[in-house]
Amino acid sequence: MKAWRLFGAEMVGTAALLCAVIGSGIMAENLSGGNVAVALLANTLATVFALYVLIETIGPISGAHFNPAVSLVMAWRKDLPRHLLLGYVCAQLLGAALGAWLAHAMFELPILQWSTKVRTGHRQWLAEAVATAGLLFVILRSPAGKASALVACYIGAAYWFTASTSFANPAAVFGRMMSNTFAGIAPSDALGFVASQCVGAALGWLLHRLLSPPPHPS
């Protein structure tokens, strides 16, 4: 398949995912009357549904990574040709920005903005490492044809059992730091999240390897 189709699919999928995350956060905050739990529940459900649909529809084209940490692990495993890695990551980052801007446009907010929402500290970083490790583990251990449901379910659960509400995705951090809304993260806090996600991705891959049966001798 031509590389531009793969990159385009990753850009569109990541844009749609971030639009769903940020847009549902705006809508939830508008309608919840200040009840953060209700807002988070609505944000969670929209993200889960969107993620399932996007993986099902875009997965056959590009693998539906929508996440530089996932693409990096797949390239390391040679499931993704390594010469495509940079293109995947650039497409995901561009898609994340476009998704944030689209959500703002739909809700008549300033298109270009920066988040002021503080998300930092050791508990948040640990939560992101845990969330990303779990995500990579689920992806790598999913039986054929079941990744979309399992990943969507895991992210929905991780929204609630992690202190950070489970970004688990450097592209999501990139898009969400451009949105001063319910789902945002201050740019000054982004690096800590991304570093934790990279550590978590490596741990998820390592746990998968440790639990896999040894290869049969030839």
Which of 139, 103, 78 is closest to 26 using CA atoms?
103
pLDDT value at position 120? 96
Q: Locate tokens 């996932």: which residue?
A: 70
**pLDDT per residue over 28-53, tens digit each?**
999 999 999 999 999 999 999 999 99
Q: What is the mean pLDDT of residues 58-75?
A: 98
**pLDDT per residue over 92-145, tens digit each?**
999 999 999 999 999 999 999 999 999 999 999 999 999 999 999 999 999 999
pLDDT value at position 218? 53
User: pLDDT-derived band of residue 214, with 50, 70 and 90 as boundaries?
Assistant: confident
What one-letter code names the amino acid at 2?
Answer: K
Contact 74, 205 (CB under 8 A): no
Tell me the domains of the chain and their CATH numbers: 3-211 (1.20.1080.10)
pLDDT at 215 over 90: no
pLDDT at 216 over 70: no
pTM exceeds 0.85 for this model? yes
Contact 184, 177 (CB under 8 A): yes
